Amino acid sequence: MGPAQVVGATVIDGSGRDPSNVVITVENGRITQLGASSAHGERLDAEGLTMTPGLIDAHVHLGLSSPIQPHFSFRISAAEIAADIFATAGATLDAGFTTVRDTGGIDGGVVTAIAKGKVRGPRVLSCGPVQCQIGGHGYYGAAWEPTGLWSSHQSTATLMAAREVALVPTFAVVERLLHDTAGAGLAESIRDRAKGVREQMTRALAVAKHAGVRIGLGSDLIGPAQDRRGGELSLRAALETPMEALVAATRTNAGILGLSGQVGVITPGAQADLVLWNATRSKTRNFSPTPPTPSS
């Protein structure tokens, strides 16, 4: 792919620095230059729009895109499950998320189908199947899991910071359960548990931040209504600042996923995962011909 220049956009580069108006030059899937360039090629006018790096969701479940109860009781065909997964993948890309980490629920075939361009979707890093203790979280919503015991935030945060363990809060799924438990395919009794979880998550975020824990961003949405993925940034912006929420969803998440410097930032050498925003919608532009490789 020849060089292309994006001009006129207000650029928020993922570093936390103030926005700037700078020309972005892209060639062969990578950002090659910031600032005026003499390179010839396509010129994209982004006047009046805001550019960010492609957003990253570090906790998704693309494989749980069908109604939960029919899915887990084997009342949906594999073809319908696949159709729901691919629909969610496309909607995720349209929402400005160009990279996601699937923390359980899909196989390698989904990752490969998206990577080959057979269906639209973000870059997917798959963690494989869910691993959980019998009766614990992930064991089909065990009723007795005691949220009241989730109170030792300080000692946990201190240990996480010392061991360089990252935290990825997921407020969006809890917000969904508080307002539409049935829509998520779960029993109404889950709502009361979600209230306790929400309070503890808010406290845990503040404690982790104070302890110096690296804090990313995820959604953990399940079921067919995963169209509020971007709401995680709004929820986090209410607890921190909008810039801190955006950095968590870009540069910080890239580091957590082992993709530092490759995605999540607008800088020379990075993959050209770029999103243009106006007041009502996003336009994702991916100039990248090959996916980045996570580092260990």
- State the pTM of this model: 0.88
Report the percentage of the chain scoring pLDDT > 70.
85
Residues 193 and 280 in one domain: no
Residues 70 and 110 in one domain: yes
Q: What is the DSSP letter of 172?
A: H
What CATH number corresponds to the domain at position 273? 2.30.40.10
Does 279 score more than 60 pLDDT? yes
Residues 109 and 236 in one domain: yes
Reported confidence tier of residue 36, pLDDT bands at 50, 70, 90: confident
pLDDT, tens digit, for every residue of 44-94? 999 999 999 999 999 999 998 988 888 888 899 999 999 999 999 999 999
User: What is the pLDDT, as a whole number, of residue 178?
Assistant: 86
Structural domain for 77, as ranges: 55-256
Structural domain count of the chain: 2
User: Among 232, 128, 225, which Cα is nearest to 175's?
Assistant: 232
Compute the mean pLDDT over every residue in the chain, rounded to the nearest whole number. 87
User: What is the pLDDT, as a whole number, of residue 138?
Assistant: 57
User: What is the rounded distance in angstroms from the CA atom of residue 99 to the CA atom of residue 57?
Assistant: 7
Residues 152 and 250 in one domain: yes
Which of 162-176, 179-193, 278-292 is least confident?
A: 278-292
Instruction: Enter the tokens of residue 280.
Output: 């009502």
Residues 46 and 156 in one domain: no
- Quick one: average pLDDT of 169-192? 81
User: What is the rounded distance in angstroms from the CA atom of residue 120 to the CA atom of residue 89?
Assistant: 7
What CATH number corresponds to the domain at position 134? 3.20.20.140
Inter-residue contact 86 to 111 (CB < 8 Å)? no
Q: Is residue 291 in a domain?
A: no
